[in-house]
Amino acid sequence: MIAWLVPWLEDLWQPFHALQYITVRAALASATGFATALLLGGPLIRRLQKVGVGEHAGLSDSADVAAAYRAAGKSGTPTMGGVFWVASVLLGTLLFARPDELLVLLGSVLLVGMGAIGFLDDWMKFRRVGGRDGLSRAAKFIPSLLLCGYVAAMLWMLAEKTGRPDVARIYFPVLKEFFASPESYGIWGLGLFVVFETFVILACSHAANVTDGMDGLAAGSAMPAFIALTIAVYAVGHIELAAYLHLPFLPGAGEVAVMGGAVLGSTLGFLWFNTYPAKVFLGDSGSLPMGALLAYFAIISKQELALPLLAAVFVIEIGSSLLQILWFKLSRRIYGSPRRLFRIAPIHHVFQLKGMPEPQIVVRFWIFGAVAAALGLLLLKVR
């Protein structure tokens, strides 16, 4: 919004001219997101504590994990912290990114939509509506699927109608000038693109949700990935950088980097309250939109195929859960009784049940995530 006011502000004071630069606005969006999260976080946490919106440690699938949570005093810690994270990201984005840029608008729709689905799930967990622990799988999956499919379809339409065909193409890491062009296959290409990008968003969103199981784990692990992807988004929106790195040039993508700045500041502000011992948890209202935005930034920067490395912690977390489920079902057919591949999944609980202190587990995951994101970012240079 402020980008629209730059000509008028310049007349008042020449240094306001700096607001035309994406890097300046991204930095200001980051500062705004951070300050907003700090200002909203404290009062909201107190309000949640007052109304009794807290973690139910005894509802864990594992009796051992439930016991560990109770011993750590997590029972009663407020959830729904994602509410002020989403609000902080949205405010920083609306203030400093150009709201008329369709790539920003679609990202905001995805943020708010996934946040609303997660909030409803968290609310039903709190109210225990019908005795259920949140939304049913179908009630949670179908709206998420429709929302992600809508965003993917709009990206396809945007590529077609605004002369930015690269938005609807899939680029491969390392390989220069090599990409898949779904638009060449007409309606079938549209279907393939929508299915693929919808899968990327849903998978990343669910992975972040699974990772949100320890103080600071999901938000802290997301930081390196968001930093790398914000840099990548800025690069594809900068004509000279895009040419130097052999990336597609996407006009308008730089405005998504401003949104990335808002995400980074807001995530740091959330971690202020979420680091050990956590005063609030993300909940589905935060983890679902956080993972969805990670995927969205990867799509805009054309790094979907590099995302498993850029967001390696989330991949390992969701991968351990999927392997556990698949082996549990397969072993039942092979041996006649189900067996476990891991003692428990996702994998951070394995270290927890071995007695490793929670802060040590979380910080080591952060370190691993930072190294993986740095390697993923290196792929931009070696194209």
Which residue type is seen at 378?
Answer: L
Q: How confident is the model at residue 381 (pLDDT cuts 50, 70, 90)?
A: confident
DSSP annotation of 344 reads: S
Number of H helices, E strands in the chain: 15, 2
In the 8-state DSSP scheme, what is residue 170? E
- pLDDT, position 6: 62
> Which range (24-38, 190-204, 210-224, 338-352) has the least confidence?
338-352
CA pair distance 190, 184, nearest whole angstrom: 9
Lowest mean pLDDT among 20-34, 47-61, 223-237: 47-61
Q: Considering only residues 176 and 142, tell me which one the structure prediction assigns the higher pLDDT.
A: 142
Question: In degrees rounded to 5, what are phi and psi of residue 170?
Answer: -110, 115
Mean pLDDT of 345-371: 92
Residue 261 has pLDDT above 90, yes or no: yes
Mean pLDDT of 167-187: 81
Q: Domain coordinates of the chain in residue numbers?
A: 22-381
Question: Quick one: DSSP state of residue 171?
Answer: E
pLDDT tier, 177 (very low <50, low <70, confident <90, very high otherwise): confident
Q: How confident is the model at residue 240 (pLDDT cuts 50, 70, 90)?
A: very high
The chain-wide mean pLDDT, for the chain, equals 88
In three-state secondary structure terms, 137 is: helix
Average pLDDT (17-34) is: 90
Strands 179-180 and 170-171: antiparallel
Banded model confidence at residue 135, pLDDT cuts 50, 70, 90: confident
d(CA 309, CA 369): 9
Per-residue pLDDT, averaged over 160-179, amounts to 84
**Which of 17-31, 135-149, 284-298, 348-362 has the highest average model confidence (pLDDT)?**
284-298
pLDDT in tens, 51-88: 877 665 545 555 556 566 665 556 678 888 999 999 99
What does the DSSP 8-state code read for residue 73?
T
